[in-house]
Chains A and B, each alone.
Chain A
Amino acid sequence: MENLDGLRDEVLASVGAAADLDALEGARISALGRKGRITALMKGLGALAADERRHAGQALNALQAEVVAAIARRKRELGRGELDARLAEERVDVTLPVRPGPSGRIHPISQTVDEVVAIFGEMGFQVAEGPDIEDDWYNFTALNIPPEHPARQEMDTFYLPGAKDGSRLVLRTHTSPVQIRTMQEHAPPLRIIVPGRTYRCDSDATHSPMFHQVEGLLVDESTHFGHLKGCLIEFCRAYFGIEDLPVRFRPSYFPFTEPSAEVDIGCSREAGELKIGRGGDWLEILGCGMVNPKVLENCGVDPARFQGFAFGMGLERIAMLKYGIADLRTFFDSDVRWLKHFGFAALDIPSLVGGLNR
């Protein structure tokens, strides 16, 4: 038994030298097989004296365990090598482009509507709608714009052939008629916003015969001009994502509001580049005012009890300012290069929780 160290070295060397699984199996059989060298020694233990047998048995058991572990280790090594070889053969060029998948876009106007709704939605406004084809009572008269009023003449209205009852049909020149429809159907308190298509008979570099507006209306018993300011200042700052955006209210005139204001936001115009924010200059973005008592009356709402504000703004205009779009007409041209560049991903759904500005 004195030669166990030599045997150990020989067996471990043959395990370590096995170049593949077959050679390793050969090495295992020659050491641990039925006629293996360690097996033979184990079999010889019975011939030894009890004391010697116990001692030799322990040594052989230890050797056997060591060899089994060495074989297992070598087996893992050899297996990994073969897998490595296979994986090396399976290599692909990962710089190949991926399979083309869907790459749809959301139009910037839709995205802008979603942004505006997200903001006003937080303030408790709900979206209301009305038809694009209106009669002139809803589009003008009910809004305190009588037939020969200069404001009506300035609107470049599209006309459709008259209805049977003699009233003239028009394409709505603003989203304001939805104020009237809403107040006729629902009693105050009311908070609505109305995004929608509007039409003016005008087409040049800065005018499109169709464009979009969003109208807002809040009517209750106590809302005053200060609330109008608060509401729109918060809107402008949230929409443009500029916390200290200067917002200015300037007296103006709309037949359907009294008092009326136009709202300017701060900007700078350095080297011909318009930038929204602090900058000493002003840019007009919307019109607003307290609902004219006559408009309330026209809708059957008691002006002695109820009051509120209304506002309206051009959606293309605020989208152009926010997203750096230069030409109004490109919105409706459906040029796929433009749509891909200015469009938004399907899952890019605006919310105040997720933040409106990326």
Chain B
Amino acid sequence: MKFSLSWLGDHLETEAGVDEIATRLTMLGLEVDSVETRAQGLEDFTVARVIEARKHPNADRLKLCLLETKDGEAEVVCGAPNARAGLKGVFAAPGSFIPGLGAKLKRAKIRGVESAGMLLSELEMGLGEEHGGIVELPADAPIGAPVVDVMGLDDPVFDLEITPNRGDCLGVRGIARDLAAAGLGTLKPLVIEAVPGAYESPIGVHLEFDPADSQACPHFVGRHIRGLVNRESPDWLKDRLLAVGLRPISALVDITNFLTLGYGRPLHAFDADRVAGDLRVRLAKSGERFEALGGRTYELDGEMTVICDDHGADALGGIMGGERTGCTDATTNVFLESAFFDPVRTAATGRKLNLTSDARYRFERGIDPAFQVNGVELATRLVLELCGGEPSALVIAGGAPDSGREIAFAPERVATLGGIDVPVAEAERILTALGFVVGAADGALAVTVPSWRNDIVGEACLVEEVVRVFGYDRVPAVPVRCASALPEPALSPDQARRATARRALAAQGLIEAVTLSFTSSKHAEMFASVPESLRLVNPISAELDVMRPSILPNLIAAFVRNANRGFPDAALFEVGPQYAGARPADQATVAAGIRAGSAHARSWARPPRGVDAFDAKDDALAVFAAVGIATSRVRIEAKAPDYYHPGRSGVLRLEGGEAAPVLATFGEIHPAVLSAMDARGPAAGFEVYLDSLPGSADRAASAPPELSPFQPVARDFAFVVDADVAAAAVLAAVRGAEASLIAEVQLFDVFSGGGLGAGKKSLAVGVVLQPKDRTLTDTEIETVAEKIIARVGKKTGGVLRT
């Protein structure tokens, strides 16, 4: 919402300066985006007259213009189509800064002819986007005068960000009212005198709605004015509009814009001679066509409100007039329309047609429903003043919708909700200044809401009005107190566990990434089938068209991006959501990671090594360890999902039957998946399903160690087993041989080939025996060793290597 200081002055009597007004507006909730004095940077430009314009000798599109300037004659090259003898334009001398070009003007030869300056367009002056030609100043502008004076550019222009609830401040008068309530001046009275009609309007108005839809347009006020001349608007009106970036068109059009911006009251002016029969307001017929001002045609549906005559739709209610019945310079009879259109329907219509306008912007935020008649009266006066003519009596259909809500207001709510004691008299003053009517009713105040404040619906709204105008900055800050000095933990056990997993993975040397919750369906399908419910209706791009079923594709894509930048070694993880469906329960929190390239940086101290499945397994188990899940409770199976290498991957399950939940997967990523994602492998990944991990209540409380005073004994064994026997089976067999004595089992070598024969491997296991009540004798040690060998033989077929 833009307005100039002088326009504000039409409504507000104030001594306040520009800065004070701007600060106050912001603190009233009418946020000031910018205050620009349009003159800034344009002070050096002066009025010049084109004496003669002739063709440039070396260029068809350029002209040589001989100018009369404040310093005598000057010849400039000009490419504008409207450059012609007699035109008065904006002259920039060489050396001056041209805002729209962002550069200083040099004296230069253009196609072989020297140009001693430039005639400027609005674009070059930085005033607008129009680049149809150079600025044309009034014929009576004195040569050499500063153009900022001639163009009225020294009037400061405020640009406000009006929140959607304040439709009333989409007119200058509403803004002035807020400022006056805040003590920054006096709101000038709005005097509206009914203009007597000289005749009955030849155009009637009919509201033709089913009762169910009557709210679409409950009230229509019109007036016929005949015998007028639609001439150019006077300077004061043109200046008002130009200052806010609107192009003056003709008096009739300018008057409707002036009412829209000045009072937030959009109007439409029909050329009465082009209207056939009466005007009928109704819902459009599905498929009905409407040619809007500017010539674009829209296809309407049965939910949209149109104003039509015998030939069809003439206007889209609350949004835009029609091309067929619009005013032109030749218009001599006009029919003014000032109606109330339903905000919701107007918004929906505009959105469906993708049609924006100043009128729609106001209607959908809610205009003053009691201002239809006033709007027509104000416009009538201006038409008569600027264009002459004779007015008809008002044509009124329907009635203004109810707007006089009354709200019971306990003034102490300002303190108990707003946090500040505002004297009741001051609260009443503020409300009254804003247009509320304050009366008494059983201890509380009975406050009647002004018709233009559709946003005020309850007591809390009134508290806001009082505190807002009184000043948010005057509300004392009060600390929030806890019931006790020590707060409860902020994180639930599950949340704390996620935080722990994150820190544990960073401690593993992985770098945390945060990738988008979307991925491309092409990548996603390699990891899981994506249900229809997770395909975005309006994705930002085809690369981000589904909710991710796994974090891994995004981490692999991140690894590829880094590799393409010259960093092929990846060690990335993410703790975040993945989606199996659209229900809340389908969202799971997963810690996933990817490692690729070398397992560690190149170093003199360590031979290089590529990443493998055991790096990923280590990462997954690090999460388990960090959140307190003993590895003894976990079973490892070589049955990972398809996107892993079938021979180098596994899943971690809780000990238990087939139904025990999968807690994690890990392994090298399948080479086909990597190549489909343009990733150069090998790469190893893992996924830990944090939500599936057993809760703290299930967590096995491990017994404290017995601090035995007796020496532990270490023995090594090497077992030869079939190559497909799992190491875990051998280790479990060892551990179970004499559980009360065996404190530690380590697998320290794996060997195959040599003399073992095909299909065999040797596993070397170190066992630590910890006696608790005495030192072990050699015989006792031998007995345990034999038990171990026997059990491994029985459980795995392994024999001691000899």
Which A residues lie at the B interface, using CB under 8 A?
A: 96-107, 109-110, 114, 117-118, 120-127, 129-133, 146-151, 153-154, 158-161, 163, 169, 171, 193, 197, 199, 201-203, 209-210, 218, 222-231, 233-234, 248-253, 258-262, 290, 292-294, 307, 331-337, 339-340, 343, 345-347, 349
A104-B507, A161-B537, A293-B458 known, 6 other contacts, Cβ within 8 Å: A127-B495, A160-B535, A224-B415, A227-B480, A258-B460, A258-B463
Q: Note all chain B residues with C-beta closer than 8 A to A224.
A: 415-419, 478
Inter-chain CA distance A146–B537, complex, in Å, is: 21
Closest to A248 in B: B473
Closest 7 CB pairs of A and B: A102-B509, A226-B419, A251-B29, A121-B490, A259-B464, A253-B163, A334-B558
The answer on a CB contact under 8 Å between B511 and A123 is no
Closest to B566 in A: A337
Closest to B348 in A: A148
Closest to B499 in A: A114
The answer on a CB contact under 8 Å between A160 and B534 is yes
CB of B344 within 8 Å of the partner chain: yes
The minimal Cβ–Cβ distance linking B354 to chain A, given in whole angstroms, is 12
| A–B pairs, 10, beta carbons within 8 Å | A104-B507, A110-B575, A126-B492, A129-B495, A132-B579, A158-B539, A160-B536, A209-B518, A224-B416, A250-B31
The minimal Cβ–Cβ distance linking A268 to chain B, given in whole angstroms, is 18
Inter-chain CA distance A153–B344, complex, in Å, is: 12
For chain B, the count of residues having a C-beta within 8 Å of the partner chain is: 102
Q: Note all chain B residues with C-beta closer than 8 A to A110.
A: 502, 512, 514, 575
Looking at B364, B533, B579, which has the most chain A CB atoms within 10 Å of its CB?
A: B533
Inter-chain CA distance A121–B571, complex, in Å, is: 32
Q: Note all chain A residues with C-beta closer than 8 A to B605.
A: 96, 98-99
The answer on a CB contact under 8 Å between A251 and B587 is no
The answer on a CB contact under 8 Å between A133 and B163 is no
Stretch at the interface among B387-395, B436-444, B596-604, B669-677: B596-604
Q: Note all chain B residues with C-beta closer than 8 A to A129.
A: 495
CB of B227 within 8 Å of the partner chain: no
On whether A251 and B468 interact (CB within 8 A), knowing A224-B417, A229-B477, A334-B515, the answer reads yes
The answer on a CB contact under 8 Å between B483 and A124 is yes
Closest to B472 in A: A249
Inter-chain CA distance A114–B503, complex, in Å, is: 11
The answer on a CB contact under 8 Å between A127 and B480 is no
CB of B54 within 8 Å of the partner chain: no
On whether A161 and B532 interact (CB within 8 A), knowing A104-B512, A133-B582, the answer reads yes
The answer on a CB contact under 8 Å between A133 and B587 is yes
The answer on a CB contact under 8 Å between B475 and A345 is no
CB of B190 within 8 Å of the partner chain: no
CB of B708 within 8 Å of the partner chain: no
The minimal Cβ–Cβ distance linking B499 to chain A, given in whole angstroms, is 7
CB of B296 within 8 Å of the partner chain: no
The answer on a CB contact under 8 Å between A159 and B538 is yes
Inter-chain CA distance A202–B544, complex, in Å, is: 12
Contact with A197, one of B27, B503, B539, B577 (Cβ below 8 angstroms)? B577
Closest to A117 in B: B490
Inter-chain CA distance A197–B84, complex, in Å, is: 61
CB of B311 within 8 Å of the partner chain: no
Q: In chain B between 530 and 584, which residues have their CB closer than 8 angstroms to a CB of chain A?
A: 532-541, 544, 547, 555, 558, 561-562, 565, 567, 570-573, 575-577, 579, 582-584
Contact with A229, one of B416, B478, B511 (Cβ below 8 angstroms)? B478
The minimal Cβ–Cβ distance linking A169 to chain B, given in whole angstroms, is 5
Closest to B491 in A: A127
The answer on a CB contact under 8 Å between B163 and A201 is no
The answer on a CB contact under 8 Å between B582 and A169 is yes
Inter-chain CA distance A201–B123, complex, in Å, is: 32
Q: Note all chain A residues with C-beta closer than 8 A to B577.
A: 132, 197
Inter-chain CA distance A230–B481, complex, in Å, is: 10
Inter-chain CA distance A241–B760, complex, in Å, is: 65
The 8 A CB mask of B385-423 against A (1 = contact, 0 = none) is 000000000000000000000000000000111111000
Q: Note all chain A residues with C-beta closer than 8 A to B506.
A: 104-106, 345-346
The answer on a CB contact under 8 Å between A227 and B164 is no
The answer on a CB contact under 8 Å between B480 and A230 is yes
**Main secondary structure on A side of the interface with B:** mixed
Inter-chain CA distance A222–B489, complex, in Å, is: 24
On whether A150 and B365 interact (CB within 8 A), knowing A230-B479, A251-B468, A252-B163, the answer reads yes
Inter-chain CA distance A97–B26, complex, in Å, is: 58
The answer on a CB contact under 8 Å between B478 and A124 is no
Q: Note all chain B residues with C-beta closer than 8 A to A146.
A: 344
Q: In chain B between 125 and 168, which residues have their CB closer than 8 angstroms to a CB of chain A?
A: 163-166
Inter-chain CA distance A163–B416, complex, in Å, is: 42
On whether A339 and B419 interact (CB within 8 A), knowing A131-B584, A229-B478, A253-B165, the answer reads no
Q: Note all chain B residues with C-beta closer than 8 A to A132.
A: 517, 547, 577, 579, 587
CB of B289 within 8 Å of the partner chain: no
Q: Note all chain B residues with C-beta closer than 8 A to A103.
A: 509
Closest to A208 in B: B516
Q: Note all chain B residues with C-beta closer than 8 A to A201.
A: 538, 540
Inter-chain CA distance A106–B463, complex, in Å, is: 44
The answer on a CB contact under 8 Å between A99 and B538 is no
Inter-chain CA distance A231–B475, complex, in Å, is: 13
The answer on a CB contact under 8 Å between B587 and A343 is no
Inter-chain CA distance A227–B478, complex, in Å, is: 5
Contact with B536, one of A125, A148, A159, A203 (Cβ below 8 angstroms)? A159
Inter-chain CA distance A118–B415, complex, in Å, is: 31
The answer on a CB contact under 8 Å between B562 and A334 is yes
The answer on a CB contact under 8 Å between B536 and A231 is no
Inter-chain CA distance A133–B579, complex, in Å, is: 9
The answer on a CB contact under 8 Å between B28 and A251 is yes
The answer on a CB contact under 8 Å between A253 and B587 is no
The minimal Cβ–Cβ distance linking A2 to chain B, given in whole angstroms, is 63
Q: Note all chain B residues with C-beta closer than 8 A to A106.
A: 502-503, 506, 512
On whether A150 and B347 interact (CB within 8 A), knowing A223-B480, A334-B562, A343-B511, the answer reads yes
The answer on a CB contact under 8 Å between A336 and B562 is yes
Inter-chain CA distance A169–B583, complex, in Å, is: 10
Contact with A261, one of B348, B472, B508, B532 (Cβ below 8 angstroms)? B472
The minimal Cβ–Cβ distance linking B547 to chain A, given in whole angstroms, is 7
Contact with B517, one of A96, A120, A210, A218 (Cβ below 8 angstroms)? A210
Closest to A169 in B: B582
Inter-chain CA distance A248–B410, complex, in Å, is: 28
Inter-chain CA distance A167–B32, complex, in Å, is: 38
Inter-chain CA distance A349–B500, complex, in Å, is: 10
The answer on a CB contact under 8 Å between B464 and A258 is yes
Closest to B589 in A: A129
The answer on a CB contact under 8 Å between A121 and B487 is yes
Closest to B347 in A: A148
Inter-chain CA distance A120–B166, complex, in Å, is: 33
Q: Note all chain A residues with C-beta closer than 8 A to B31.
A: 250, 252, 262
Q: Note all chain B residues with C-beta closer than 8 A to A122.
A: 487
Contact with A102, one of B507, B534, B537 (Cβ below 8 angstroms)? B507
Closest to B576 in A: A197
The 8 A CB mask of B603-614 against A (1 = contact, 0 = none) is 111100000000
Inter-chain CA distance A103–B483, complex, in Å, is: 42
The minimal Cβ–Cβ distance linking B365 to chain A, given in whole angstroms, is 6
Q: Note all chain A residues with C-beta closer than 8 A to B480.
A: 123-124, 218, 223, 227, 230-231
On whether A160 and B544 interact (CB within 8 A), knowing A197-B577, A258-B460, A346-B506, the answer reads no
Q: In chain B between 238 and 289, which residues have their CB closer than 8 angstroms to a CB of chain A?
A: none
The minimal Cβ–Cβ distance linking B620 to chain A, given in whole angstroms, is 15
Contact with B533, one of A161, A193, A336 (Cβ below 8 angstroms)? A161
The minimal Cβ–Cβ distance linking B648 to chain A, given in whole angstroms, is 23
CB of B513 within 8 Å of the partner chain: yes
Q: Note all chain A residues with C-beta closer than 8 A to B511.
A: 104-105, 336, 339-340, 343
Contact with B460, one of A161, A209, A293 (Cβ below 8 angstroms)? A293
CB of B690 within 8 Å of the partner chain: no
Closest to A233 in B: B477
Q: Note all chain A residues with C-beta closer than 8 A to B463.
A: 258-259
Inter-chain CA distance A24–B499, complex, in Å, is: 67
